[in-house]
Amino acid sequence: MAPAAVPASDPPSQADTPMTDANEEPTSVPVDPLDAKMTGYQDTPDYTDSDTNPNTTASSVAGDPVLPDGRRRRSEAYQMRKNMFGKKHGSLNENKDDDSIRRFRYLLGLTDLFRHFIETNPNPRIKEIMAEIDKQNAEEATKSKRKATSRTGGASSDRRRRTEQEEDAELLNDEKRGGETNTIFRESPPYIQGEMRDYQVAGLNWLVSLHENGISGILADEMGLGKTLQTISFIGYLRHICDITGPHLVAVPKSTLDNWKREFHKWTPEVNVLVLQGDKEERNKLINERLLDEDFDVCITSYEMILREKSHLKKFAWEYIIIDEAHRIKNEESSLAQIIRVFNSRNRLLITGTPLQNNLHELWALLNFLLPDVFGDSEAFDQWFSNQEADQDTVVQQLHRVLRPFLLRRVKSDVEKSLLPKKEVNLYVPMSAMQVKWYQKILEKDIDAVNGAAGKKESKTRLLNIVMQLRKCCNHPYLFEGAEPGPPYTNDVHIIDNAGKMVILDKLLARMQAQGSRVLIFSQMSRVLDILEDYCMFRQYQYCRIDGTTAHEDRIAAIDEYNKPDSEKFIFLLTTRAGGLGINLTTADIVVLYDSDWNPQADLQAMDRAHRIGQTKQVVVYRFITESAIEERVLERAAQKLRLDQLVIQQGRAQQQAKNAASKDELLGMIQHGAAEIFNKQGGTSTLQEGKALTDDDIDAILRKGEERTAELSKKYEKLGIDDLQKFNSESAYEWNGKDFADKKKDIGINWINPAKRERKEQVYSIDKYYRQALATGGRTADPKPKVPRAPKQIAIHDWQFFPQGLQELQDKETAYFHKEIGYKTPLADGPEEELQDREAERDLEQQLIDTAAPLTEDEQAEKARLSEMGFPEWNRRDFQQFINGSAKFGRTDYVGIATEVDSKDPEQVEEYAHVFWKRFTEIQDYPKYIRVIEQGEEKLRKMGHQRKMLRKKMEMYRVPLQQLKINYTVSTTNKKVYTEEEDRFLLVMLDKYGVDGEGLYEKIRDEVRESPLFRFDWFFLSRTPVEIGRRCTTLLNTIAKEFEPEGKNGDGKGRGRDRDEDELDDEDEAPAKKKTKAAVNKQVKAVRGKGNSASTSRASSANPSKSRGRKK
């Protein structure tokens, strides 16, 4: 048995309990006498005392069994390792207590604002520390007063010489409060293998001062200023100056793992670096051979590995936890933020080029991670800075005073004089004729929503969908099914001509290649990169590509290939999110933003891949914006957000109340912008009319106009102060070129956007179209088949409504006669050419039935009316679906329960329907899937009933279950320990109290946990969500049920310890969703519905660029 598999469950050492945050009071756990007696058995996990396991046989406790040498050595090594981890955690917690005193004194010396936040922390230990600091300050004030009195001639009645004990106590107190040691580097430290720039040395000094004052911080320099080097030099300071070799944990994006490792080897090669990454087998080897043996100084790993290997990483007492791209933990409810807070560390450092992107609460989440003892209450923080009645300038000044000790923010223009400023140009690109056509089609498809007439709840979702479609059209019409000409699909000049951005890009790239530049092209959409790849192949440009699906090894290879000397790669294609983090591409000097991200910080990240230290040329950024279209409004919204960031964050870097998502009115304003102008156009806009080639003069004019409008936009937002931006909404965006369109928007109900006029189309004799129709190939441009007309006054018959069989026959007869009266001709069905004769025969047969049809007689009409009343016409598909779900949830005979699921039916109606359903369910199409759902639900009900019975039986075995109940853990659950047996007992008692199928069960148990004094200091148990509690309860109920199985094969249960559900290994970087009672059943029904998927291979639907039609030769 490997040491990692042995449960770490010894309460005295507390080695494997969750690491406390800095705001939690370190508590010593008393050793239970019984536990002390059982130490020998707990150290050997394959044997347990009969007191802890009722199923242990007499022979197993008759005497101490002799362990094999291998197992004994592993057990001893495990126990030594556990004790060592426990001692380190104890030592770390003592240091953290001293750091808290030093930290509070330093912060309160800066501004008394921090007292407000510290005193809102409910932790009693924090209040003790504050009381001690106030007492010390009072004593110092008294001493100072006495000294002042003695200097003025007064006599001190209690003046005497100190005793040795008093002096020792004072020296010890001064040491706890922090010595006045200030380490300042004037130049690059000698332990760095290279030369640091002056501002990087200043950054190192700032990190050193934070450490000496016991403060964690945010290094928020602009991207490209060497935050990685500053961090590495600080770790070198800890190693060489403070004699702190580690361990340190560095969490970085997966794409930057290799870069961090290279930088450590380059600047501080003596630091022992462990990169924890790879598949499960590789990670196990690294964990057993290096991690658990502490054969490392710095452990570099990705966010995903932290989630997967949290059980090992939380064992360590980390000196520093460093998080690169720290905005990943701005949501304190995410799995990553919650798990990394469990890790015990003395200090923490956040690295980010964008310290805040959305609002004050996210700023609090970062500060809470850094200093939970100072910023423990989010509501107090939000209320303090969100008082709208206060003067905004005062609020901003207070925010800066709070941020200043923790945050260092510098921009390239201020510190990096050797780096030329980047030049940004917004290019306003006209549409092609095809884009105008598709833009019109998108607007016409939902003209009511475009005009703001959709007053339903889902109207914002409709607007978001329209926004997405319009942005796709602005990028390239080939993103839509049916837009690309073909088959056959070719790489040709039409790829360029049919999109305005591609026309401008084609001319720009030719210029850039001629002048020796290299280009980065960013887009939000990976399918745009597919089209750009086809374009590069058509123009024979050498290129590399990175998107969200690119493997880590392939990313490194592509970056190295592009950056190597004399590389032939001219273009690098990247998605904004996947290619904008932690990549150095300074060999390129031109950046093209093919489309803009909603978040301006993502675009800044993308630009700074080239504009960073090491760049020798001036970087030029071309941002493509489709003229008179939705992209202009997207850009303005991003500019507003960026300006707000500049006002607040650049001077302390926080942000006030910026909206994360666009409101319904903002979306409507974006969609309507330019819509009327688009409807009035018949061909391409401006210079992109069909048949007209774009000249160099046209390109120069577009560039010149872009520079002018870029300066105009910047000037517009420079005038706005923080009050203006706080009140800024989409209406202020209607000021453009001196015109105010706000009044026009108020009349939105009157001034409708009219779609384009319908015009008579001339007949086109297209050979391709003729063969597509004749062969029925199903091409995207084939005309849709007309719907078959249905006779009036007929009811729609669905199989779940259980109408009599004869009704359908009568309606078919009536429909056939109706078709005969209107002269309807049966069309030829689609199909392959080899089945043409069969399809023609079927068509002729149907047509013959129509030609010979006769009207219904009076008796047949009466019969039709009678049969129409015999089914369940009032049951729609929603009612049927809810009936299936209710039957699965409550059982097929619980009509009252099922009626609670079916909104519009009472129990009597449900019972009537159920009787018919169970007699005729075979008439329903795909009925096995519905029956399977019901049977699975009933099986779940039987299982829960059995668990309820076994749980009650277990409880009745003990007088005080909360203290006496013993759980026989299975081998599979014992190998993974997270929950203690005390916690498990509590969960089982609560399950028995509320019932295993009670409404809101796990929310109630969570509340009981938080109110129970037993777990007042158990942060792990207190922080469990209802979903996680539900998983644990399911595991425990299964364990109890197995205990009473007739085979009795669970006698090898283990003793105390934390038992972990396997499901908890699947945590993602999102907060767990709330438990929904109906969700499981709905998913099962949905999962077995039609699974037909089209197999289109055009660019509009290609998931793999290698399979797009542009690749076919």
Q: Is 957 exposed, middle or buried (0-12, 13-18, 19+ CB in 10 A)?
A: exposed
DSSP string, 927-950: HHHHHHHHHHHHHHHHHHHHHHHH
Q: What is the mean pLDDT of residues 442-470?
A: 65
Q: How far apart are CA 1077 and CA 1001, in angstroms?
A: 11
Cβ neighbours of residue 693 closer than 8 Å, sequence gap 6 or more:
none
Give me the pLDDT at residue 299, please: 93
**Which of 691, 634, 711, 682 lies closest to 475 in space, CA to CA?**
634
Q: Which range, of 48-62, 545-559, 935-949, averages the lowest pLDDT?
A: 48-62
Copy the structure tokens of residue 105.
Answer: 């004194």
**pLDDT confidence bin for 659, thresholds 50/70/90:** very low
Cβ neighbours of residue 1002 closer than 8 Å, sequence gap 6 or more:
1026, 1027, 1029, 1030, 1033, 1075
Report the DSSP pairing between strands 344-351 and 317-324.
parallel
Q: What is the pTM of this model?
A: 0.44
Residue 300 has phi, psi (to 5 degrees) of: -105, 125
Three-class HEC string of 248-293:
EEEEECHHHHHHHHHHHHHHCCCCCEEEECCCHHHHHHHHHHHHCC
**pLDDT confidence bin for 976, thresholds 50/70/90:** low
- Decide if pLDDT at 616 tops 60: yes
Q: Is the dihedral of CA 1040, 1044, 1047, 1051 positive or negative?
A: positive
**Which of 536, 539, 615, 543 lies closest to 579 in space, CA to CA?**
543
Cβ neighbours of residue 535 closer than 8 Å, sequence gap 6 or more:
491, 495, 496, 502, 506
- Decide if pLDDT at 679 tops 80: no
Three-class HEC string of 479-531:
HCCCCCCCCCCCCCCHHHHCCHHHHHHHHHHHHHHHCCCCEEEEECCHHHHHH
728 residue type, one letter: F
More confidently predicted of 658 and 107: 107
> Following CA atoms 159, 160, 164, 165 in sequence, which dihedral angle do they give, to the nearest 10 degrees?
-50
Copy the structure tokens of residue 388.
Answer: 């709208």
More confidently predicted of 77 and 220: 220
- Decide if pLDDT at 357 tops 70: no
- Decide if pLDDT at 666 tops 80: no
Cβ neighbours of residue 63 closer than 8 Å, sequence gap 6 or more:
none
Cβ neighbours of residue 967 closer than 8 Å, sequence gap 6 or more:
981, 984, 985, 988, 1036, 1039, 1040, 1053
The neighbouring-strand residues paired with 318 are 345
Residues 658 and 648: beta-carbon distance below 8 Å: no
Q: What is the mean pLDDT of residues 23-47?
A: 36
Q: pLDDT of 317-343, one tens digit each?
A: 888 999 988 777 777 777 888 888 888
- Decide if pLDDT at 300 tops 90: yes
Give me the pLDDT at residue 650, please: 46
Copy the structure tokens of residue 517.
Answer: 């530049």
**Which of 434, 525, 432, 440 lies closest to 483 in space, CA to CA?**
434
Give me the pLDDT at residue 527, please: 87
Q: How far apart are CA 588 and CA 562, in angstroms?
A: 9
Residues 648 and 399: beta-carbon distance below 8 Å: yes
**pLDDT confidence bin for 16, thresholds 50/70/90:** very low
Q: How far apart are CA 547 and CA 552, in angstroms?
A: 11
Report the DSSP pairing between strands 519-523 and 590-593.
parallel
Residue written as token pair 């299936």: 884
Q: How far apart are CA 276 and CA 61, in angstroms?
A: 42
- Decide if pLDDT at 731 tops 70: no
Q: Which range, of 153-167, 246-260, 335-349, averages the lowest pLDDT?
A: 153-167
Does residue 776 come out as left (phi exceeding 0), alpha (psi in the -120 to 50 range) or beta?
left
Q: How far apart are CA 757 and CA 577, in angstroms?
A: 41
Residues 307 and 287: beta-carbon distance below 8 Å: no
636 residue type, one letter: E
Give me the pLDDT at residue 144, please: 57
**Which of 221, 153, 1035 lies closest to 613 in space, CA to CA?**
221
Say whether 711 sits in a helix, a strand or coil.
helix
Q: How far apart are CA 473 and CA 481, in angstroms?
A: 12
Cβ neighbours of residue 369 closer than 8 Å, sequence gap 6 or more:
329, 332, 337, 340, 341, 348, 350
Copy the structure tokens of residue 474.
Answer: 């602005």
- Decide if pLDDT at 295 tops 80: yes
Residue written as token pair 């399911």: 1034
Residues 988 and 951: beta-carbon distance below 8 Å: yes
Q: How far apart are CA 151 and CA 145, in angstroms?
A: 10
Give me the pLDDT at residue 662, please: 54
> How open is the CA angle 582-271-411, to the nearest 5 degrees?
35
Copy the structure tokens of residue 781.
Answer: 């441009």
Give me the pLDDT at residue 248, please: 92
Edge-to-edge strand ranges of the sheet holding 344-351: 273-276, 298-302, 248-252, 317-324, 344-351, 217-219, 407-408
Q: How far apart are CA 596 and CA 522, in angstroms?
A: 9
> How open is the CA angle 390-396-400, to the nearest 5 degrees?
140
More confidently predicted of 188 and 599: 188
**pLDDT confidence bin for 978, thresholds 50/70/90:** confident
> Following CA atoms 4, 10, 13, 14 in sequence, which dihedral angle do they give, to the nearest 10 degrees?
80
Q: How far apart are CA 1043 and CA 947, in angstroms?
A: 11
SS3 content of the chain, % helix, strand, coil (to 5): 55, 5, 40
Which domains occur in the chain, in start order?
A: 1-55+67-143+169-180 (no CATH), 198-355 (3.40.50.10810), 423-727 (3.40.50.300), 767-868 (1.10.1040.30), 937-1087 (1.10.10.60)
Q: How far apart are CA 33 and CA 284, in angstroms?
A: 37
Copy the structure tokens of residue 697.
Answer: 């003069």
Give me the pLDDT at residue 232, please: 92
- Decide if pLDDT at 262 tops 80: yes
Helices vs. strands in the chain: H and E counts, helices first: 47, 15
Q: What is the mean pLDDT of residues 64-84?
A: 65
Q: How far is CA 788 from the centre of its chain?
A: 47
Q: How far apart are CA 670 and CA 635, in angstroms?
A: 10
Q: What is the chain's mean pLDDT, rounded?
A: 71
Q: How far apart are CA 642 and CA 445, in angstroms?
A: 34
Residues 27 and 1017: beta-carbon distance below 8 Å: yes
